[in-house]
Chain A
Amino acid sequence: MEFGLDYDQKLMQDSVNRALDRVCPLDRVREAADANEIAEDVWLALVELGIPGLLIPEQFGGVGLKLLDAALVSEALGRHVAPVPFVASCVMAPLALLHAGSPAQQSKWLPKLAAGEITAGVAISEQIAGARDGCGVIAKDGRLNGRAMFAMDFDDAAFFIVADTENKLHLVGATAKGITENPLTTIDLTRSLGELSFTDVEAEPLAHGNALAALRDAGWTMLAADTLGAGWQMIEKAVDYSKDRKQFDRVIGSFQAVKHLCAEMAAELEPGRSLVWYAAHAFDAIPSDASVSAAHAKSYLSEIGRFVARTATEVHGGIGITDLLGLHFWFKRIGLNRQLLGGPERVRHLAAVMQGFAAA
């Protein structure tokens, strides 16, 4: 019985963190966010480490690791508010192809994804978080019609994995005839989201029926891990600031009012780490627990993430809310993670449904 990370996992996460420390400091994040684009050099550093192929088997040029490894990367990316594709392109899209793709689809796309030559988007929001503004994609005779919002890793995606209103998945080339891309601007400028409109668009169905649930569970776990990393970074920044900032002739970190805020953040956030680890592990090793634990990881980190984001900002006092300090990049990242693929109330409802406590 061992509940924890092994040596290789610690090493891998260390090397991702070190690479991001080097190529993705706050100034670089700010630059990419201002230009509203992916940080190409940060992406290349991840490609160098094999991150795009993390979950892709070696036969397709990937590394063939597990979702727990991906969660460790997601945590590191959240920690650095890295302006790069990941959750959809490096996790959900490869999993869609691995779970439900034909051999032809797999050998066409997986090697390119693994090599980081292309990225992919995922548009399943309507089927998980619920349809807004009349969205929803209807599939009929290999053609898609309708609209999908909150497509993840949207910019520059070579193809999209799209869920239709019957929860079936389709692969659509980004340049397919009849598709219109419409970027959505969120609070978080480090990640790209968009809306896809389909007018009689030719799409390849992905065969397997239950892949949407796997995509959802993986997506929830990755977003939770991202918040874990972003949240801990905010706590560390708050603690560091409180040891430096003086008022009333003392560092503010010596006031219990400030110490207790920091202790509460740490005490609430840290058990979320074990929940993320378990959900990611269950995805590969304990299928019966995978969906419920992924839902709880997403819900827990969303709730605690919001508490940490506002409290860490508050510990900084006035400077905390300025653009100059840049704490808001983490604040907004956590804010986006909370709502993507369903806010906590929605996710908890789904967790109740999964356990037979509520009707869908």
Chain B
Amino acid sequence: MDLAYSKKYEDFRAETRAFLERHRTDFPKPYGGGRPSAEMLAWQKRLIENGYAARTIPREYGGYGADPDILKSRIIAEEFTRAKAPTGLAGQGISMLVPTLLDVGSEEQKRQYIAPTLRGEIIWCQGYSEPGAGSDLASLQTRGVEDGDDFIINGQKIWTSTAQSADMIFCLVRTESERAKHQGISYILFSMKTPGIEVRPLKTMTGNAEFNEVFFTDVRVPQRNVVGGRGQGWFVANATLKHERGMLGDPNAASARLHAIIELMKEETVGGQRLLDDPVLRDRLMQLQGRVMAMQFHGLRLLTAAAAGNDVGLARLIVKLEGCELNHQLAAFAIDVLGELGVLYHDSPHLRANGFWQRAYMFDLGLIIGGGTAQIQKNIIAERGLGMPREPKLARE
């Protein structure tokens, strides 16, 4: 156990800090999804050139080409947070498609898509879930029928964030209808401007349309846009879902929320009494502080294991479940702390933090459900982490 960073890493931290200091005036507004601003694109270019974005992506595909070093990645994240500097572009293209292409894409696909995606010139959306295929994703019914060198795609996707501004989609399509459920799916890339695609915003309980529905009517897509081979889509997609689950349980987000709540409890008063002086609320705060600390140190443990190339099994499998739940509980607590003020929303007078806590409380419920529901996570923990048997298959009717 040694929580200090060695000189090599402290030097790297100093370098990162100096870079951010030097470029403080170049910080664009944080990226909120959709089409990036010109300032954001320039910032992204600068970050890639200096190794603060696309760090481990090979140079030949437009990345910085550094060896993977998880500690350096963490230092970058810490220093950007500290400097309140916008990180590089995120989104499903960079976080999910690029790793997939690097893994299983053809040379032509890598050359065509990775660099412009990293630069923010191609924005992607993910076409996985369907109205009838949520947790049981492999039962998806969007169909691609062979027609010469193309597929003709018909069907519907849902929960497609960014679809309204995306240039391209990476999409799971059933192309081999005669094959078994998991073997009949292909992972296909195509332009969102292809004729026959309709995007309808999907408004959620927060009042915003964070998602969309996407409809495909006779959408013609070249077969060469399949990634990883026809019928291999399920396996290709599973590799990327892992990236997503890692992303959804960020312990630093929980820590930031906890600190915001402590400030809230110091500033807000009820009947002239500080909320921090209410013993019941304070006890709940302390309970959550303990949980946040546990998840933070758990994160450090996973980081150390990953840096050493060790698989920690169960310890890794619990992160999505526990992380999303904790963030949700923090939002719920902040609402309780605010009491009646906590239900103010939209543009109400007396609104606090722009309605953040209610919006987070509602939106986070979606994160508990998305990317593998809490119940699916528990199945995974029980089966892969604890070695418990799978549910027996029901006989086909």
Residues of A within 8 A of B (CB): 1-6, 68, 235, 239, 242-243, 250-251, 253-256, 258-260, 262-264, 266-268, 270-275, 277-278, 281, 285-286, 293, 296, 299-300, 303, 345, 348-349, 351-352, 357-358
- Verify A348–B301 contact, CB threshold 8 A: no
Closest to A284 in B: B1
Interface residues in B, total, Cβ within 8 A = 50
Please report the C-alpha to C-alpha distance between residue A260 and residue B377 in the assembled complex, in whole angstroms.
9
Taking A4-B301, A271-B295 as contacts, is the C-beta distance between A239 and B289 under 8 angstroms?
no
Give B264-293 as 1s and 0s: 1 = Cβ < 8 Å from A's Cβ atoms. Answer: 000000000000110100110111011101
The answer, among A3, A251, A264, A299, for a CB contact under 8 Å with B1, is A3
Counting from the closest, the 6 A-B pairs by CB-CB distance are: A274-B297, A259-B382, A348-B286, A3-B300, A296-B290, A263-B378
Please report the C-alpha to C-alpha distance between residue A256 and residue B381 in the assembled complex, in whole angstroms.
12
Give B380-397 as 1s and 0s: 1 = Cβ < 8 Å from A's Cβ atoms. Answer: 011101111111100000
A2 contacts across to B, CB distance below 8 A: 1-3, 304
For residue B309, give the distance in angstroms from its CB to the closest CB of chain A.
13
The answer, among A239, A264, A267, for a CB contact under 8 Å with B387, is A239
- Verify A274–B286 contact, CB threshold 8 A: no
The answer, among B3, B6, B291, B386, for a CB contact under 8 Å with A263, is B386
B283 contacts across to A, CB distance below 8 A: 345, 348-349, 352
Closest to A275 in B: B294
Please report the C-alpha to C-alpha distance between residue A357 and residue B284 in the assembled complex, in whole angstroms.
13
- Verify B294–A300 contact, CB threshold 8 A: yes
Please report the C-alpha to C-alpha distance between residue A1 and residue B5 in the assembled complex, in whole angstroms.
5
The answer, among B287, B301, B378, B391, for a CB contact under 8 Å with A264, is B378
- Verify B314–A274 contact, CB threshold 8 A: no
Please report the C-alpha to C-alpha distance between residue A268 and residue B297 in the assembled complex, in whole angstroms.
14
Please report the C-alpha to C-alpha distance between residue A256 and residue B303 in the assembled complex, in whole angstroms.
31
For residue B375, give the distance in angstroms from its CB to the closest CB of chain A.
7
For residue A221, give the distance in angstroms from its CB to the closest CB of chain B.
13
Please report the C-alpha to C-alpha distance between residue A272 and residue B3 in the assembled complex, in whole angstroms.
18
- Verify B382–A260 contact, CB threshold 8 A: yes
Taking A281-B3, A358-B279 as contacts, is the C-beta distance between A262 and B382 under 8 angstroms?
yes
A243 contacts across to B, CB distance below 8 A: 387-389
- Verify B378–A259 contact, CB threshold 8 A: yes
For residue A247, give the distance in angstroms from its CB to the closest CB of chain B.
13
A-B CB contacts (within 8 Å), total count: 155
For the residues of A in contact with B, the DSSP-based class is helix
Can you show 18 pairs from A to B with CB atoms below 8 A apart? A4-B1, A243-B387, A243-B388, A253-B382, A254-B390, A254-B391, A256-B375, A259-B383, A262-B388, A266-B318, A266-B381, A267-B381, A270-B298, A271-B294, A278-B297, A285-B3, A348-B286, A358-B276
Which among B321, B322, B378 has the greatest number of chain A C-beta atoms within 10 A?
B378
A3 contacts across to B, CB distance below 8 A: 1, 3, 297, 300-301, 303-304
B277 contacts across to A, CB distance below 8 A: 358
For residue B269, give the distance in angstroms from its CB to the closest CB of chain A.
15
Please report the C-alpha to C-alpha distance between residue A148 and residue B195 in the assembled complex, in whole angstroms.
83
Please report the C-alpha to C-alpha distance between residue A102 and residue B116 in the assembled complex, in whole angstroms.
71
B386 contacts across to A, CB distance below 8 A: 235, 239, 262-263, 266
B382 contacts across to A, CB distance below 8 A: 253, 259-260, 262-263
Please report the C-alpha to C-alpha distance between residue A285 and residue B1 in the assembled complex, in whole angstroms.
10
A303 contacts across to B, CB distance below 8 A: 287
Taking A6-B1, A256-B391 as contacts, is the C-beta distance between A266 and B314 under 8 angstroms?
yes
Which among B5, B285, B289, B300 has the greatest number of chain A C-beta atoms within 10 A?
B289
- Verify A281–B1 contact, CB threshold 8 A: yes
Please report the C-alpha to C-alpha distance between residue A243 and residue B388 in the assembled complex, in whole angstroms.
7
Please report the C-alpha to C-alpha distance between residue A260 and residue B385 in the assembled complex, in whole angstroms.
12
- Verify B290–A250 contact, CB threshold 8 A: no
The answer, among A251, A255, A271, A299, for a CB contact under 8 Å with B318, is A271
For residue B174, give the distance in angstroms from its CB to the closest CB of chain A.
27
B287 contacts across to A, CB distance below 8 A: 299, 303, 348
Taking A242-B388, A243-B388 as contacts, is the C-beta distance between A299 and B282 under 8 angstroms?
no
